[in-house]
A and B are shown apart, each in its own frame.
Chain A
Amino acid sequence: MPTAEISIKALPLDTPFAFETAGMKIVLVRTNEHVYAFEDVCPHAFWPLSAGTFRDGVLECPGHGWEFRVQTGQCHESPAYCLTPISAGIANGVVRLEWEAANTLEDRKNVLCPRPGKAAVNAGAEAISQLQD
């Protein structure tokens, strides 16, 4: 399973951050409490979410305004759609990212929730307890 690491200090507070490694595009959102990570593509029209905005726990896609709750990755208005979560663990001020390999780009673009109306659990949310900045 591919992995990558990034210093938590590199992540701006409450602002979507684009991180690309080994062809994988990831959007990270750091709040006061958590770091959330998803594949950096909106499942609607495939815009990069890192160019969007983040407010009140909601990541808004810049393309057409679709809103995703970072706690679940689920689309606020169209709950059939979810972002693809990236596992994000924090240790010693470093965010360690881990994701499933071998998905095709098309697979990654067309992610719906496992069942309509049910939230996908975002494995990427990890409590920040050791932020030192």
Chain B
Amino acid sequence: MRVTYYGQACTLIEAGEMKILTDPWLTEGAYQGTWFHTHVLADANVTPETIPKDIDYLFLSHEHQDHTDVRTLKHFRPDIPLLICRFSTPKFHQYLRQLGFTDIREVESGQPLDLGDGAKVTIFRTVEYTNDSAILVEHDGRRVFNETDCKLGYEDLGQIGRLGIDIGFYMFSGANWYPMMYEYPEDQMLDLVRRRRRSLLRSLVQRVRLTNPRLAVPAAGPCTVLDPALLWLNREERGIFVDPEIAVRTMREANLSSEPLYMAASDVWDSRTGFECRAPASFRAPRQEYIAAASERMAGSIAAAYKAESPAHADLPNLLPKFFNTLVGAQSPSIRKVINAKLAFHVLGPRGGTWTVDFSAPGPEFVRDEILPDWTYKVEIEDKLISPFVTGEEPFFEDLLLSLRFRCSRRPDLFNEPLYHFLYEADPEKLHNWYANRRNLD
């Protein structure tokens, strides 16, 4: 088998004659312009135009833009077979259908699928509320595991480990906005970041230990932020986006039986010939030096992209309340009680305003045109950024938060997971089943 690494969770896995491409994100500036690859892919001549197109299957782990990138996907023929996990809702499937793909194959979690020519894939679904998955590819006694940034259960990881993995690609970094976008005093922020990074690296070590691959590659998770105004997010003491070389060092220090391997975009591993370094030398330059140079180089195009962003919808002040009234009103009283939040928005810009989504209101109006004094979660964001999410143009609300172009705070300072689930996918039946199964409803 042979694997070419294209950054983040994107791997071209060649299993005999079969070619499987996973999570192709081959452009820069995902999530409203913020997310760049660890290294600018075009510098390694990795672009949607240049990568091989004779792909037999595309595997898409989940809907996040750094895994399912519309600008990359449009370079593939609409009838290319897409492999996705069977999730509890059809939202991801329907999204791919709307993009024009006609051959979408949903695979049951943990059920091997014979692709022919001796190649076999098994997709594993996350244990979390999200629609996320990982993939195992087997051929001729060799096995490649790509965890993407999916959080699998202990039993699935143990089962994968018992099979004997040749090379595994692992999530090694945080991929969200906590704690960086929150309002914390400096000392607390530094402590939270330090603890989060420590926890992420410990988790990496444990997952590698459990799956026990011969080679362990830190792959999915982080972004690099090249917007000059947000460069602080890349600093080790201020952000949770871990440098892959730190992940390799951590694995090495843990004395795992697996060999840690740093692969940069365009590097290759072959089961017969081993590792082949193909990435440009600049991809192995000291991290902060690389980021500073890349940011300087990209600053002009980032500024141009921001300038080209569409203004907010003229009717945003009516659309935002309508959007949340509909979503909250569709939930059962039990679910609203579980969420139990007062979600406040301070929207900046010409179509801005203040609103609070009150999950404890009797309904049918859940949105007030003010920030209630007892808000529990507050978001400050530009009108043009939130606008496409309440108009329906952007279907995945979490993408807005992943943009890192907002500030937020919460009272009390605790993770309200039901609120997060609601914002991730406010499907009433899915939410109800999730919490009913956990005996948390009236």
- On A, residues with C-beta under 8 Å from B are 44-48, 51, 53, 60, 62-65, 77-81, 110-117
Q: Establish whether residues A112 and B202, one from each chain, have CB atoms under 8 Å apart when the complex forms.
A: no
Q: Establish whether residues B202 and A65, one from each chain, have CB atoms under 8 Å apart when the complex forms.
A: yes
Q: Which 3 A-B pairs have the closest CB atoms?
A: A65-B199, A62-B206, A112-B440
Q: Chain B contacts of A65 at CB under 8 A?
A: 196, 199-200, 202-203
7 chain-A/chain-B pairs, Cβ below 8 angstroms: A60-B199, A62-B203, A64-B199, A65-B196, A79-B414, A110-B438, A114-B440
Q: Establish whether residues B206 and A47, one from each chain, have CB atoms under 8 Å apart when the complex forms.
A: yes
CB distance from A130 to the nearest CB of B (A): 35
B127 within 8 A of A: yes
Q: Chain A contacts of B338 at CB under 8 A?
A: 80, 116
Contact of B152 among A45, A51, A80 (CB under 8 A): A45
- On B, residues with C-beta under 8 Å from A are 127-128, 151-155, 196, 199-200, 202-203, 206-207, 338, 340, 414-418, 435, 437-440
Q: Establish whether residues B151 and A110, one from each chain, have CB atoms under 8 Å apart when the complex forms.
A: no
Q: Establish whether residues B207 and A63, one from each chain, have CB atoms under 8 Å apart when the complex forms.
A: yes
Q: Establish whether residues A117 and B438, one from each chain, have CB atoms under 8 Å apart when the complex forms.
A: no
Q: Chain A contacts of B415 at CB under 8 A?
A: 77-79
CB distance from A105 to the nearest CB of B (A): 10
Q: Bound state CA distance, A64 and B147, in angstroms?
A: 14
In the complex formed, the residue of A with least CB distance to B199 is: A65
Contact of A111 among B128, B202, B438 (CB under 8 A): B438
Q: Bound state CA distance, A51 and B154, in angstroms?
A: 12
Q: Bound state CA distance, A48 and B152, in angstroms?
A: 14
Q: Establish whether residues A64 and B438, one from each chain, have CB atoms under 8 Å apart when the complex forms.
A: no
Q: Chain A contacts of B127 at CB under 8 A?
A: 44-46
Q: Chain B contacts of A62 at CB under 8 A?
A: 202-203, 206
Q: Chain A contacts of B418 at CB under 8 A?
A: 80, 116
Q: Chain B contacts of A51 at CB under 8 A?
A: 206
Q: Bound state CA distance, A45 and B153, in angstroms?
A: 5
In the complex formed, the residue of A with least CB distance to B127 is: A45
Q: Establish whether residues A64 and B437, one from each chain, have CB atoms under 8 Å apart when the complex forms.
A: no
Q: Establish whether residues A110 and B437, one from each chain, have CB atoms under 8 Å apart when the complex forms.
A: yes
Q: Bound state CA distance, A48 and B153, in angstroms?
A: 11
CB distance from B183 to the nearest CB of A (A): 17
Q: Establish whether residues B414 and A45, one from each chain, have CB atoms under 8 Å apart when the complex forms.
A: no
Q: Chain A contacts of B416 at CB under 8 A?
A: 116
Contact of B340 among A44, A112, A116 (CB under 8 A): A116
Q: Establish whether residues B199 and A77, one from each chain, have CB atoms under 8 Å apart when the complex forms.
A: no
Q: Chain A contacts of B196 at CB under 8 A?
A: 65
Contact of A80 among B151, B203, B417 (CB under 8 A): B417
Q: Chain A contacts of B417 at CB under 8 A?
A: 78, 80-81
CB distance from A55 to the nearest CB of B (A): 11
Q: Chain B contacts of A60 at CB under 8 A?
A: 199, 202
Q: Given A63-B206, A64-B203, A80-B417, A46–B154 Cβ distance below 8 Å?
A: yes
Q: Establish whether residues B203 and A112, one from each chain, have CB atoms under 8 Å apart when the complex forms.
A: no
Q: Establish whether residues A112 and B154, one from each chain, have CB atoms under 8 Å apart when the complex forms.
A: no
Q: Establish whether residues A45 and B200, one from each chain, have CB atoms under 8 Å apart when the complex forms.
A: no
CB distance from A80 to the nearest CB of B (A): 5
In the complex formed, the residue of B with least CB distance to A43 is: B438
Q: Bound state CA distance, A111 and B439, in angstroms?
A: 8
In the complex formed, the residue of A with least CB distance to B417 is: A78
Max chain A CB contacts within 10 Å: which of B154, B200, B414? B154
Q: Bound state CA distance, A79 and B338, in angstroms?
A: 12
Q: Establish whether residues B206 and A112, one from each chain, have CB atoms under 8 Å apart when the complex forms.
A: no
Max chain B CB contacts within 10 Å: which of A51, A53, A60, A112? A112
Q: Establish whether residues B438 and A45, one from each chain, have CB atoms under 8 Å apart when the complex forms.
A: no
Q: Bound state CA distance, A112 and B440, in angstroms?
A: 6
Q: Chain B contacts of A79 at CB under 8 A?
A: 414-415
Q: Chain B contacts of A78 at CB under 8 A?
A: 414-415, 417
Q: Bound state CA distance, A44 and B127, in angstroms?
A: 7
Q: Establish whether residues A117 and B199, one from each chain, have CB atoms under 8 Å apart when the complex forms.
A: no
